[in-house]
Structure 1
Amino acid sequence: MHTHQRPLLCGVVLSLLLLPSLASAQSERPRARARTLGITFGGQSGPHDAITDVPGVEVGHTTLISGEGRVERGKGPVRTGVTAVLPRGKDGVAQPVFAATYALNGNGEMTGTHWIQEGGQLFGPVMITNTNDIGAVREAVISWAADRDLAWDLGLPVVAETWDGMLHDIYGFHVKPPHARQALDSAKAGPVVEGSVGGGTGMVCHGFKGGIGTASRKLPESEGGYTLGVLVQCNYGSRRLFSVEGVPVGEELKDQMPCYVGTKKPDSPMMEWVPACSTAKNAAPPANPFEGAGSIIIVVATDAPLLPHQLQRVVRRVPLAIAKMGGLGENYSGDIFLAFSTQPIPSPTSAKVASVSSLQSEYLNPLFEATVQATQEAILNAMLASDTMTGADSIRVFGLPHDGLVKAMKKHGRLTAAPKPAPARKARP
């Protein structure tokens, strides 16, 4: 899950040679999204249909793609990275936000959650990477904060993970602190790059290529006019249960399952079930003992004035969206979620009592609905933006075919609008 490495870049790329043998790249290529294909999941999106529609939120990625062929631990192939979500942007990184967390299934990690549960506040960014590089990313946040005299404020970083060992030399520990710092430094508002970028670079979702996805909802003024945004790192779920707006897409798209290129089987015991691409096309899908394994990390942001207990109620609605998409919270999946509100929190003063706003609980239902809608759309956007990728031990994971998805949705009468022409898709390494 590994040789001299060369950067393999696609589209217009920001490349940072942070370490001698590793390249960081971020693709700015156009891509089709759910709404481009006429799939909306209901509700009105914000201007960018992204978590950054919530004022103040910034997102940055560092993407590492290099090498090909057999795994050589410590050398590659590399298909990984880091994603940073800053609730109040870089300028307000020291200002806490009210927050809450929830785990549907805990076979994963999100550091820093004990203090969020205890104190109801999130200090600093939310970082997302692969399972084995949490330590390097956590170290980076602390050193990045120390350089800004914020070591105490950001001393318990939130770092979450999903496992990218199918496509990546995960035991090579390729993410280094400079990569995480670059994700923080590059964070910005506006459109968010999706797909095989940042922490989502090497991820697999419902048997297709997964990665980073985002979406948002803007409530009408009659319901408060609040914005809610979602960002996912999608690496969970089985193909056979994959569903979009009630359409059994996984049953309609049974081919193009993960396979390996060439004549030599993957070395990893966990990948023994993966067939050769040369034989997979005409064969029944192989039995996968790890079906549904993976993980999904979801970050929910809103500018609605919510207190921690109300955010706990919001974040507990995330699993409803996962269930609608075909996820079960399987045994080997880490399904861990975090929600925060960007409403102002008074700075500590000599006063013992501080006042904050709180939405009346009977007005939470539109935010619950927005959470379920935006989470579904973010998951699908992650898959739509992710092209076919070949990685560790020449394992190939196919991108979700846009035409196949549209055909399935039309067959079941679930398209809400005529699809717009989608930009050309190119295979990722």
Structure 2
Amino acid sequence: METIQCTASQASAKPRARNLGLPFSGNTGPFNAITDVSGVEVGYSTVIGDSSTSGKGPARTGVTTILPRGHAGPLRAPVWAGFHSLNGNGEMTGTHWIKEAGYFTGPIGITNTHSLGTVHQSILQWMIGKPEPGVGAYKFMLPVVGETCDAYLNDMDAFHVTPAHVMDALDSASSGPLTEGNVGGGTGMICFEFKGGTGTSSRIVELLGARYTVGCLVQANFGIRPHLKILGVPVGEHLTSDRLWAGEQGSIIAVVATDAPLIPTQLERLARRAGVGIGRTGTPAGDGSGDLCLAFSTANLTMSESAAAPAVGDLTFLPNNRLDTLFEATAQAVEEAIINAMVAAEPMAGCEDRFVASIEHDAVKEVMRNYGRLNT
């Protein structure tokens, strides 16, 4: 069994949607990634191999971790958050508390469906091993872990993701450009019947005299070919080879980060706009798909769970009637991240010799050119 750590320096080798000349709107950050939000770090463990253990199928899986405040932390400082389920045929832990209290603490994990429990417990073990001065003792923690199903290519029943993989992804998390496609939790994922996986993007916005960043990371594992649209162009109607199934299945996890000061109700609204970005790629969010969206803000650093927390806290936040710019930035970034995941992904064979083709770059460019939607 092979475990692959993906570092920031590897990212430049992967093509991205804008490299194909696709004219996405909006101004990106320097990495065009969720890591453009200051402090946010991402780590992967990619698990690929053919198990020698009798009865276990191939591994085409992994885990992605997101540290909202990075290793410098404080790791246990709450981040204000909001959650939205576009379609609920999936799981993201910790969301009941987010809806109740408006925040979560610690890293986010994204993996395959049957490894959710392993990732959840491993994040707890990692956090317990990292006590922080000045932070009150925790009686409980509720890690946020999302999943999508990679069972078409990966033997999920073999539980290939281990605590060691999760620890590696957490320890190796860093800022900078990110590798996309067949990496981390996205390793075995499929999007619009092409190879999918991990994708990311960001937007820089000017609002009320200040500059803010919105970044997102998706684990794209949803959609059927006829629905696929890229910048409104019905690409899936033209690229009809290597079809896999007739009905929509799979899921997508979309995590949106921002440094804009927002309160939980506003972050829930931002999470809903991640659903707009998903919808722009053509999916109707079918019954078989779990489309779960999380948004968090790194602003308003507070240690509200510490023993020394003040009796009354202060928050700064933008007015509701000025959020449209952030809404559009979120939809743009999520849409581009999904296409980035497919553009970077490589073909993959897995369980029972099943094969998933990657989207052909030249074919995409030809379709987009025919519709007048390609930068020359």
User: d(CA) in 2 for partners of 1:51 and 1:383?
Assistant: 17
* Structure 1, 123-132 or 220-229: larger mean CA deviation: 220-229
User: d(CA) in 1 for partners of 2:333 and 2:140?
Assistant: 29
Aligned CA distance change for structure 1 residues 230 and 207 (closer, same or farther; 3 Å):
same
Match of 2:19 among 30, 36, 47: 36
Alignment of 1:186-335 (within 5 A): 186-220=172-206, 224-258=210-244, 288=245, 291-335=247-291
Partner of 2:120: 138
CA contact (8 A) 1:73 1:169 kept: no
CA contact (8 A) 2:77 2:302 kept: no
Alignment of 1:12-411 (within 5 A): 23-26=3-6, 28=10, 30-67=13-50, 73-74=55-56, 76-92=57-73, 93-149=75-131, 152=138, 155-220=141-206, 224-258=210-244, 288=245, 291-348=247-304, 349=308, 351-411=310-370
Which string of whole-angstrom CA distances, capped at 9 and with x for unpartnered residues, describes residues 361-403 of structure 1?
1110000000110000000000001011111111110111110
Which string of whole-angstrom CA distances, capped at 9 and with x for unpartnered residues, describes residues 165-189 of structure 1?
0000111111111111111000000
Aligned CA distance change for structure 1 residues 244 and 52 (closer, same or farther; 3 Å):
same
* RMSD (CA atoms): 1.9
Aligned CA distance change for structure 1 residues 107 and 221 (closer, same or farther; 3 Å):
closer
Unaligned runs of 5+ in 2: none
CA contact (8 A) 1:25 1:65 kept: no
Aligned CA distance change for structure 1 residues 347 and 49 (closer, same or farther; 3 Å):
same
Please give the secondary structure, in 1, of the residue aligned with 2:6: strand
User: d(CA) in 2 for partners of 1:232 and 1:253?
Assistant: 23
CA contact (8 A) 1:62 1:197 kept: yes
User: d(CA) in 2 for partners of 1:221 and 1:144?
Assistant: 37
User: d(CA) in 2 for partners of 1:111 and 1:62?
Assistant: 20
Q: Using structure 1 for the length normalisation, give the TM-score.
A: 0.82
User: d(CA) in 2 for partners of 1:223 and 1:104?
Assistant: 33
Q: Using structure 2 for the length normalisation, give the TM-score.
A: 0.93
Letter in 2 for 1:96: P
Superposition deviation, residue 322 in structure 1: 1.5
Superposition deviation, residue 293 in structure 1: 0.2
CA contact (8 A) 1:94 1:154 kept: no
Letter in 1 for 2:99: Q
User: d(CA) in 2 for partners of 1:48 and 1:236?
Assistant: 25
User: d(CA) in 1 for partners of 2:300 and 2:208?
Assistant: 22
Which string of whole-angstrom CA distances, capped at 9 and with x for unpartnered residues, describes residues 98-131 of structure 1?
0011101111000111111111011111100000
Aligned CA distance change for structure 1 residues 45 and 414 (closer, same or farther; 3 Å):
same
Partner of 1:269: none
Please give the secondary structure, in 1, of the residue aligned with 2:331: helix
User: d(CA) in 2 for partners of 1:102 and 1:115?
Assistant: 13
CA contact (8 A) 2:271 2:293 kept: yes
Aligned CA distance change for structure 1 residues 141 and 197 (closer, same or farther; 3 Å):
same
User: d(CA) in 1 for partners of 2:202 and 2:257?
Assistant: 9
Letter in 2 for 1:118: E
Superposition deviation, residue 257 in structure 1: 2.6
Letter in 2 for 1:407: E
Partner of 1:16: none
Letter in 1 for 2:296: F
Unaligned runs of 5+ in 1: 8-22, 259-287, 419-429
Letter in 2 for 1:206: F
CA contact (8 A) 2:275 2:293 kept: no
User: d(CA) in 2 for partners of 1:163 and 1:57?
Assistant: 26
CA contact (8 A) 2:104 2:142 kept: no
Please give the secondary structure, in 2, of the residue aligned with 1:374: helix
Aligned CA distance change for structure 1 residues 413 and 183 (closer, same or farther; 3 Å):
same
Aligned CA distance change for structure 1 residues 392 and 115 (closer, same or farther; 3 Å):
same
Partner of 1:14: none
CA contact (8 A) 1:230 1:299 kept: yes
Which string of whole-angstrom CA distances, capped at 9 and with x for unpartnered residues, describes residues 115-173 of structure 1?
11111011111100000001111110111111113782871111100000000011111
Residues matched between the structures, number: 365
Higher radius of gyration, 1 or 2:
1
User: d(CA) in 1 for partners of 2:198 and 2:372?
Assistant: 28
Superposition deviation, residue 346 in structure 1: 2.8
User: d(CA) in 1 for partners of 2:182 and 2:349?
Assistant: 12
Letter in 2 for 1:87: P
Aligned CA distance change for structure 1 residues 24 and 350 (closer, same or farther; 3 Å):
closer
Runs of 4+ residues deviating >6 angstroms: none
Please give the secondary structure, in 2, of the residue aligned with 1:316: helix
Letter in 2 for 1:309: T
